[in-house]
Structure 1
Amino acid sequence: MKKAALMLLSLSILSACGKDADHPPQTKDWYMKHDPERHARVSECKNDAAQKVTSDCQNALDAQAQITAFGK
């Protein structure tokens, strides 16, 4: 019984890792259409290595790179 409870606790903790309640994940296209949010998120991602690897940061960074390279 203790093993099962410990396993469930461990799984619930791990499932919460990587989720950021302050920043629900957005798509690259969404970030391309929302300049203020993209600029803010790119800044946050560049300042936090743990955040930078999330899919949300990658979408924001990719959108910024595409806009920088090709324009809107």
Structure 2
Amino acid sequence: NGQVERMNRTIKDATVKRYHYDSHDKLRAHLADFVSAYNFGRRLKTLRGLTPYEAICKAWSAEPSRFRSNPLHQMPGPNI
């Protein structure tokens, strides 16, 4: 899938190609921080200026029947 490959490249370019990690734990922590910042802070043209989180919230509000469970309960944040 082209979208998955592009996202993998985005993550790789922002992490392992830019930084040296002394341990796998540091890499894991940086990956978690990057993915969180991307999902909650990066506005994407393909989502018409929404962040991925905002797009999920909008889709859930419009058609909750498309989801097996409430995706908002899956998101990290103050509710955890």
Above 0.5 in TM-score? no
- Higher-Rg member (1/2): 1
For CA contacts below 8 A with separation 6 or more, give which structure has more relative contact order. Answer: 1
TM-score normalised per structure 2: 0.28
